[in-house]
Structure 1
């Protein structure tokens, strides 16, 4: 059974950690799944997020899964998150998209929904 994990909640929410936990469990059980970061969930892709040394870093935890990490480009740009291509296109000074995250269009989400047997939103 294929699962789409749709993350729409801010990284400061406990639900964002539950989304990661589900992804880790599915990966450990070798179950097929995809993720998609949308709405406030895109904040996890900001490489400028800071965490104290004594706290887990959600961005690093997602990166360590070594899976595709698609992020809605419109939601990201609206929240000040961009890759180098979009920074140049929109005359922004810097890019701040964290490594392993990729800005994509909503077509990616539509494709993921169509292929998934179930969608779990956090």
Structure 2
């Protein structure tokens, strides 16, 4: 059964960690999985997120998964997160999108919803 994890929760919420745990479990079981970062969850894709050495870094944990990490471009730009291409287009001084995350349009979310057997929103 293919699963889409729709992330909408900020990385400061414990719910974001539950979503990661589900993704890790599905991947470990070899089950089809896709993810989409939307609303406040786009903050997970910020390369400037910092955590003390004694705490796990949510961004880095998502990067370890073998799954695409698409991020809504509009939600990201609205929250100060951009890749190099959009930084140039919108005359921003730098980019800060974390590695392996990619900015995409909402059409990708629509496609993921259509091709998934279940959608779980966190």
Give your verdict on TM over 0.5: yes
Partner of 2:45: 45
Q: Which runs of 4+ in 1 moved over 2 A?
A: none
What is the number of residues matched between the two proteins? 122
Q: Distance in 2 between matches of 1:120 and 1:17?
A: 14
Instruction: Confirm or deny: 8 A CA contact 2:9 2:39 kept in the other structure.
Output: yes
Q: How high is the TM-score relative to the length of structure 2? A: 0.99
1:87-118 CA-partner distances (Å, limit 9, x unpaired) = 00000000000000000000000000000100
Q: 1:64: which partner in 2?
A: 64
- Unaligned segments of structure 2, at least 5 residues: none
Tell me if the contact between 2:70 and 2:101 (Cα under 8 Å) persists in the aligned partners.
yes
- Contact 2:23-2:33 at 8 Å conserved across structures: yes
Partner of 1:35 in structure 2?
A: 35
Partner of 1:86: 86
Work out the CA distance in 2 between the residues paired with 1:18 and 1:121: 11
Q: CA deviation at 1:67?
A: 1.6
TM-score of the pair, normalised by structure 1: 0.99
5+ residue gaps, structure 1: none
Take 2:18 and 2:6, find their aligned partners in 1: how far apart are those partners? 12
